[in-house]
Structure formats: C-alpha cells, structure tokens
Amino acid sequence: SLSPEGRGVRTTCAYCGVGCGIVATVTGDRQVAIAGDPEHPANRGRLCSKGTHLGETVGLEGRLLAPMIGRRRASWDKALDLVARRFRETIARHGPNSVAFYVSGQLLTEDYYVANKLMKGFIGSANIDTNSRLCMSSAVAGHSRAFGEDVVPASYDDLDAAELIVLVGSNTAWCHPIVYQRIRSACEAGAKLVVIDPRRTETAEEADLHLAIRPGSDVALMNGLLHWCREAGVVDAAYLAAHVSVPEDFWDRTGEGSDLWSVARTCDVAPADLRRFFEMFAATPRTVTMFSQGVNQALAGTDQVNAILNVHLATGRIGKPGAAPFSITGQPNAMGGREVGGLASTLAAHRDFAEANRAAVQRFWASPTIAEKPGLKAVDLFRELGNGRIKALWVMATNPAVSMPDAGAVRAALAACPFVVVSDVVAETDTSVHAQVRLPAAAWGEKDGTVTNSDRTISRQRALFPLPGEAKPDWWIVKEVARRMGWGTAFAYDRPAEIWREHCRLSTYAPDGQRLFALPGQAAKGNADYEAMAPFRWGGTPFADGRYPTPDGRARLAPVVQKAVAPPLKDWPLTLNTGRYRDQWHTMTRTGLSPKLARHREEPLVEVHGDDAAREGLVDGGLARVCTPQGESLYRVRVSEAQRPGEIFVPIHWTDRTASGGRTGLLPRPLVDPVSGQPGFKASPAAIAAV
Ligand code: SF4
C-alpha cells in the first residue's frame, strides 16, 4: 500500500468514476500532499483539478463528529439502540416494506454490501436504492436487456486501440477529465473524435465532428446509423447468426424513419454532417462509443442505451480491442454498488430476483428471509415517503433534498416522515436537517475499502488519518444496527477485509458457468493481501468468445423505436438541461471547501442562446429566474452560442446552503424511464424571465 519511496499511501480519488489512483503523503495534522499514482492503470500518474485539490478538503470544518439525537449529542449506544428499535417497531407494525435505505455511489463496496445484506436478507425488503439510480441505471437496464447481465464490455485500453471514438451525451473534458486526456492522446495518434451532444461543450469544441442533436432524438440517430451500416454491408451477418438473437420484426421496426433525411429532420442536424458521421462509423471497425448521463438521464434512457448497443452488436464491434460500447459512470463507486446489488432492482453479485437466485443468496447468507421482488426505485421511494407508506428511512452519504428531481416535494416528504436517520460526514445538509438521528461517518482519507471504476478496475481506498471525534466507517454503523436488531452473528465483522472476502465468495457461489461478475481467488486472500491489494480489473475482455450470460448464450437486439419528440408547451417554451461543472462535485459538500476549485465558476449560470436572450430581454451577466411546473430558482445569465435556440442549461451543484439561487433540483419533473426508473433530468419544459 506504500508508494515505492515508502512515504505515500496508495489510495483512490474520492470523486468520479474514472477512479484515478493517488499517492497521498501525510504532511501534518489533517494535511496531505496529493499526487497521481504513476502505476495506477486508470490515470498513470495524472489527476484533474478536483483530484489535485483533494488535500484542501480534508479539514474538519463542518464535520459531524458525534452522534446526534435531535439537536443533542448522544452516545453511540443510545443512538444505535434508538435506530434499531424504531426500525424493528416499524417493521413489526407495518411490515418490512414500510422501511427503506437510500444510499450512495460514494459508499465503499464493503459499506454497500453490508447495507444491502441487512435490507434484502434480514429485513426482507428490497427497499434499498442509491443515488446511482440518478446517474447510470438506464445503462444497467440496457446492458441486462442486451447481454443478460449488467456488464460494461470495455476498458480504458480500448480507447488507446480505437480509431474512432464517439462520445454521446458526455462532456468528458469536464466530467471525466483524465479519460478525456486519454482520448486526446488517442486522437493525437490518429483516432477521430465525434461528439453527439445538444450543447457545444468544451469536449465538442475539440471534436472532428459535432452533432448538436435535438434532445431526446438519440434512438432515431442510432437506428439511422444501424440501417446505414446495413445498407453499406457493415452489419456482421456471421456474428449475428452465431451470437445474437434478432427479433423477427427487428429490422422493420427499427427501420421506420431511418433514412438519412428523416433522421436529419428528427435530430435537427444537417444531412451532410449526419452522412459524414455514418460514413466514418461504417468505415471504422475499431470504434468505441462512450456514453454517459446525456443518454442515461432521459425518459427513454434505456431505449437510448439499447440503440447504441444494437449498433455495436449488429456490426460485431464488441469483445475486440478498440471496439466496444462503453458506459462511463459518474460516481467513484457506482460500479461497486452494482456488484453488491445496491440498486433496488438487483439482488447481489449481479443477480436478479429469479427464484433460484433468491434461494442461492438466502442460503449463502443463512438469512431468515429474502426480498421477494425488486424494491422501490429512488423517485418512487420518495413518493411513497410523501404518501406515508415509508415510515422509517435511513439516508447514507447522500443529499436527496438537493439532488432528487422535484426536490421541494422530497423535502416535504422528509419533513413528514416519522423517523429519518442520516449517516454522513457533514454536520448539516439540506437532508439531515430533517433527521431525528444523525450518525457521524468516516470520510475519504479516514476509511478503508474498495471501489470499482467505470472500466471494472477495483482499487483500494485507504485511511490516511485516524478517525476524528467519534466518526465511524459506514460498514461499522450498519453492522451495529443489524446486531441490535438481533442479527449479530451474520454481521460479526471486525474489519472491511472480512466483508470483502464474503462479497467475493458470494460472487462465485453456486456458479452457473455463465456469470461474468465473479472474483475467484480473491476470497482466499488474507488480511495482509487485502491491505496490499493492487488495482485489478475483473472480467478480462467480456464477450470475446461471443458468449453472453443469457439462457441461450446469445446477446439480444432490442427493437427500440424513436418516440415522438413533444413540441414545446405554450407556457413552457424552453427545454431545460442540467449537468456538472468541471471543478465541482455533486452538492459541493467537499469541493465547496476548496477556494481554488471555486475560482472556475463562482456562481451558478443559466446558459441561454442569443435569440432566446433577446426575446426574453436577458442580458449577459444579469439575473434571470428559471421556472418549470415544479419550481423556480435564480441564476446569473450567460448568453452563449453553445446552446441550441430554445434550450437552456444550468448546473446541479448549488444548494440553499451555498447560494441564494441555483437550486436546480427544484426544477425537473419527477418523471422516470419506465424500464430503469432513472429520472429524465435532461429535458424539462421551462420558462425564463429577467429579474
Ligand atoms: Fe478524481 Fe475523476 Fe479527476 Fe480522476 S478524473 S482525479 S477520479 S475527479
């Protein structure tokens, strides 16, 4: 775990799904020097601004350092006894589905595993969902639909080998900067870059071709590409015959409106640009299509994912170096959460709720029960909280009062819930002000465990400092509540290494010979091996042999079709898009501590095309109120030709605690993709007015 010089500790960045390795050298009391780990395969020594300035965020300012019951400090025993008693009583009175956990892609895999085990195997409900639902659950659903298991069939090495990289709905230069550096290196070596994004982002500025498509027209674009490839003879008939199930009416259904002119009209792009993209794609077998929140955070997000996967399956561009569809995750451990079943829609170790899987997991856990069916996904969970059907909620390491769509309703639901527990590193968040019990959790630099990044590389996060005050790791807090609920034997963990080994054993338990997520060998490793664990990627090159983890071993093409793109509403003439800034993370509880990071964007801006600004009387640098049917908030105006006319963009980071405006969570509708349950953040009807 020590760097070669023996001074720094090898750990992993706290922020995004790129999962960069860090060498952290403690230089004083709560002081640490940060450098990129030259041996980590994700970043090879490089860090972006957020990772570089992690050292500015490890102070104790604003930390929760003792358990609190209401406004009073309490002992751990008293707080944990209260949490266990209230959950037990609620379950006894109203049943297991009357309680819920809402957790986070910031948790380490070991934390996630223990919380999932408690809820699904011991409480007997699947009402545990995660903020990763807001980030990439459409990719999970799309992978499962096409491959039979949620597997990302790509690695960062594929970017080096690609001759064409297509970025869909991803401002990679800002949101995954180190991956973007790798893409730039590939381009310098001759690869071409196409960016598909309604906005002319910093990423799009540098692309060989930018298609500023109409929001929500991705299926039409990909179906058009698919049929262009078919006409061009690029569809791999031999691969389809050997490895892919093609529904009988697939080509007819996906073919409607797929000619170049119709697609150009639907997507609102120039036919010549569209043709250029199609020709580039058809001519380049080594193509990686990387997609992110612009694809996932849509009301047809899963269909959009499958439209991309269809093209790669049909052209046989999968399971080969430099040829793959690549979902890149937002959070540092969204992938680890997927592996342990941290989503309400999966059980554990990439298993679903099929009877045989339920029986196997229950046998492995020796648990008294097992969740019968998927639980409430995030938006439904908070709706049921508001309806009074969820009567006790535990929020871990996330801030749904800011980040959920229709956040005003989420706040009201939290305020009305009879019992809310929040475990967090921050003393007061917009969520924790509604908690009856607040539990102090260990932060980055204090806790030990593992994370899985976007290309399935598992890395260790390691403690640099002693636990401050009375803070405890999340896995410890959960196991202590489980013990007090009567399940001490099943949760008798003393260290994260024990949880890791159990998780690895479960991944290979009763293997059916097809499951790709399996960590053989890891389960036998001792504590010293865990301490010294070097980053490793599981799964090799998935699907290299053309076999998929479906009952018949074949992948499946999904006959997805473009839904009509609704015209603007009279009172809501604009389309609101949301996203991230380069130097901030989520609701700024950590990055907000760094003065250097604040310099990049000091306040929340609404970006507006010049035509819309002129019509609404907005001036660059003035203030404007952005309104939707859900709520409204104030922003500084930036007139920008990077926006398409009729579309505006706002950042997600600011909260009531950081600014008087920029409360973006209040604006989107609580509408979700029907397959994945992921909210459609990317296209809300909106209006704007000068202030
Ligand atoms: Fe951290 Fe992501 Fe930046 Fe890497 S790219 S340093 S993981 S924020």
CATH of the domain at 244: 3.40.228.10
Ligand 1 pocket check: which of 12, 15, 159 to mutate, most ligand atoms within 8 Å of Cβ?
15
- Chain segment 529-559, per-residue pLDDT in tens: 999 999 999 988 999 999 999 999 999 999 9
Is the distance from the beta carbon of residue 19 to the nearest atom of ligand 1 less than 6 Å? yes
Lowest-pLDDT choice from 288-292, 441-445, 533-537, 564-568: 564-568
Residue 432, token pair as written in the block: 């924790």
The pLDDT confidence band at residue 47, using thresholds 50, 70 and 90, is very high
556, 589, 618 — which closes off a domain?
556
Ligand 1 pocket check: which of 43, 175, 590 to mutate, most ligand atoms within 8 Å of Cβ?
43
| Sheet order of strands, 457-461 included | 449-452, 457-461, 536-537
Whether residues 108 and 147 share a domain: the answer is: no
Whether residues 491 and 355 share a domain: the answer is: yes
Quick check: 6 pLDDT over 80?
A: no
Is the distance from the beta carbon of residue 14 to the nearest atom of ligand 1 less than 6 Å? no
CB atoms within 10 A of CB 584: 25
Whether residues 380 and 414 share a domain: the answer is: yes
Q: How many Å lie between the centroid of ligand 1 and the Cα of residue 93?
A: 46
Q: How many Å lie between the centroid of ligand 1 and the Cα of residue 172?
A: 11
Ligand 1 pocket check: which of 22, 23, 34, 48 to mutate, most ligand atoms within 8 Å of Cβ?
48
Whether residues 205 and 317 share a domain: the answer is: yes
> What is the predicted pLDDT for the residue at 542?
93
CA–CA distance, 630 with 646 (Å, rounded to integer): 19
What residues contact residue 178 under an 8 Å CB cut-off, 6+ apart?
18, 20, 42, 43, 46, 47, 48, 51
Whether residues 421 and 316 share a domain: the answer is: no
Mean pLDDT within 442-447:
96
Is the distance from the beta carbon of residue 263 to the nearest atom of ligand 1 less than 6 Å? no
Quick check: 459 pLDDT over 90?
A: yes
CA–CA distance, 402 with 433 (Å, rounded to integer): 12
Closest-lying ligand 1 atom to the alpha carbon of residue 178: 5
Instruction: Decide if 516 is inside a domain.
Output: no
Instruction: Decide if 561 is inside a domain.
Output: no
> What is the predicted pLDDT for the residue at 509?
87
Is the distance from the beta carbon of residue 376 to the nearest atom of ligand 1 less than 6 Å? no
Ligand 1 pocket check: which of 34, 37, 46, 50 to mutate, most ligand atoms within 8 Å of Cβ?
50
Is the distance from the beta carbon of residue 177 to the nearest atom of ligand 1 less than 6 Å? yes
Closest-lying ligand 1 atom to the alpha carbon of residue 18: 7
β strands within 534-664, DSSP E: 536-537, 555-556, 574-579, 605-608, 623-627, 632-639, 647-651
> What is the predicted pLDDT for the residue at 424?
97
Q: What is residue 461's three-state secondary structure?
A: strand
Is the distance from the beta carbon of residue 173 to the nearest atom of ligand 1 less than 6 Å? no
Is the distance from the beta carbon of residue 20 to the nearest atom of ligand 1 less than 6 Å? yes
What residues contact residue 523 under an 8 Å CB cut-off, 6+ apart?
501, 502, 504, 505, 508
Instruction: Decide if 611 is inside a domain.
Output: yes
Instruction: Decide if 261 is inside a domain.
Output: yes
Q: How many domains does the chain have?
A: 4
Classify each residue of 80-119 as buried b or exposed e, where b means 16 or more C-beta atoms within 10 Å of its C-beta. Answer: bebbbebbbebbeeeebbbbbbbbbbbbbbbbbbbbbbbb
Q: What is residue 319's three-state secondary structure?
A: coil
Instruction: Decide if 403 is inside a domain.
Output: yes
23, 38, 57 — which closes off a domain?
57
CB atoms within 10 A of CB 59: 13
Q: Whose Cα sits closest to atom 3 in ligand 1?
A: 48
CA–CA distance, 137 with 132 (Å, rounded to integer): 7
Is the distance from the beta carbon of residue 48 to the nearest atom of ligand 1 less than 6 Å? yes
Whether residues 49 and 122 share a domain: the answer is: no
Is the distance from the beta carbon of residue 47 to the nearest atom of ligand 1 less than 6 Å? yes
For the chain, percent helix, then strand, then coil, each to nearest 5? 35, 20, 45
Mean pLDDT within 329-357:
89
- Chain segment 649-679, per-residue pLDDT in tens: 999 888 776 667 888 888 999 999 999 999 9
Rg (CA), the chain: 24
Q: Tokens 């680890």 map to which residue?
A: 336
Q: How many Å lie between the centroid of ligand 1 and the Cα of residue 534?
A: 18
Instruction: Decide if 125 is inside a domain.
Output: yes
Q: Is the ipTM of this complex over 0.90?
A: yes
Q: What are the backbone dihedrals phi and psi of residue 677, each rounded to the nearest 5 degrees, phi first?
A: 75, 10
Closest-lying ligand 1 atom to the alpha carbon of residue 453: 7
Closest-lying ligand 1 atom to the alpha carbon of residue 176: 5
Q: How many Å lie between the centroid of ligand 1 and the Cα of residue 34?
A: 12
Is the distance from the beta carbon of residue 36 to the nearest atom of ligand 1 less than 6 Å? no
Quick check: 12 pLDDT over 90?
A: yes
User: CATH number, domain at 616?
Assistant: 2.40.40.20
Quick check: 511 pLDDT over 60?
A: no
CA–CA distance, 598 with 350 (Å, rounded to integer): 39
Is the distance from the beta carbon of residue 18 to the nearest atom of ligand 1 less than 6 Å? yes
Whether residues 370 and 496 share a domain: the answer is: yes
Whether residues 128 and 141 share a domain: the answer is: no
Q: How many Å lie between the centroid of ligand 1 and the Cα of residue 177?
A: 7
Q: How many Å lie between the centroid of ligand 1 and the Cα of residue 407?
A: 27
Q: How many Å lie between the centroid of ligand 1 and the Cα of residue 578?
A: 20
- Chain segment 82-121, per-residue pLDDT in tens: 999 999 999 999 999 999 999 999 999 999 999 999 999 9
Whether residues 353 and 494 share a domain: the answer is: yes
Residue 204, token pair as written in the block: 């799009």
> What is the predicted pLDDT for the residue at 657?
67
Is the distance from the beta carbon of residue 15 to the nearest atom of ligand 1 less than 6 Å? yes
Is the distance from the beta carbon of residue 451 to the nearest atom of ligand 1 less than 6 Å? no
What residues contact residue 534 under an 8 Å CB cut-off, 6+ apart?
39
Is the distance from the beta carbon of residue 51 to the nearest atom of ligand 1 less than 6 Å? yes
Q: How many Å lie between the centroid of ligand 1 and the Cα of residue 50?
A: 6
Q: Whose Cα sits closest to atom 2 in ligand 1?
A: 16
CA distances from 198 to 233, 304, 502, 669 (A): 30, 15, 45, 20
CB atoms within 10 A of CB 249: 10
Closest-lying ligand 1 atom to the alpha carbon of residue 177: 5
> What is the predicted pLDDT for the residue at 654?
84
Q: How many Å lie between the centroid of ligand 1 and the Cα of residue 113?
A: 24
CA–CA distance, 688 with 198 (Å, rounded to integer): 19
Closest-lying ligand 1 atom to the alpha carbon of residue 46: 6
Lowest-pLDDT choice from 60-74, 350-364, 373-387, 505-519: 505-519
- Chain segment 360-419, per-residue pLDDT in tens: 999 999 999 999 999 999 999 999 999 999 999 999 999 999 899 998 999 999 999 999
Instruction: Decide if 533 is inside a domain.
Output: no
| Residue-range definition of the domain harbouring residue 45 | 9-57
- Chain segment 582-601, per-residue pLDDT in tens: 888 888 888 888 888 888 88
Is the distance from the beta carbon of residue 34 to the nearest atom of ligand 1 less than 6 Å? no
CA 473 to chain centre: 22
Instruction: Decide if 527 is inside a domain.
Output: no
Closest-lying ligand 1 atom to the alpha carbon of residue 14: 1
Whether residues 174 and 236 share a domain: the answer is: yes
Whether residues 387 and 499 share a domain: the answer is: yes
User: CATH number, domain at 393?
Assistant: 3.40.50.740
Average pLDDT of the chain is 94
Is the distance from the beta carbon of residue 16 to the nearest atom of ligand 1 less than 6 Å? yes
The answer to whether 410 touches 395, Cβ cutoff 8 Å, is: no
Whether residues 298 and 343 share a domain: the answer is: no
Give the burial class of 189: count Cβ atoms within 10 A of its Cβ; 0-12 exposed, 13-18 middle, 19 or more buried.
exposed
Closest-lying ligand 1 atom to the alpha carbon of residue 179: 5
Lowest-pLDDT choice from 157-161, 342-346, 438-442, 658-662: 658-662
Is the distance from the beta carbon of residue 348 to the nearest atom of ligand 1 less than 6 Å? no
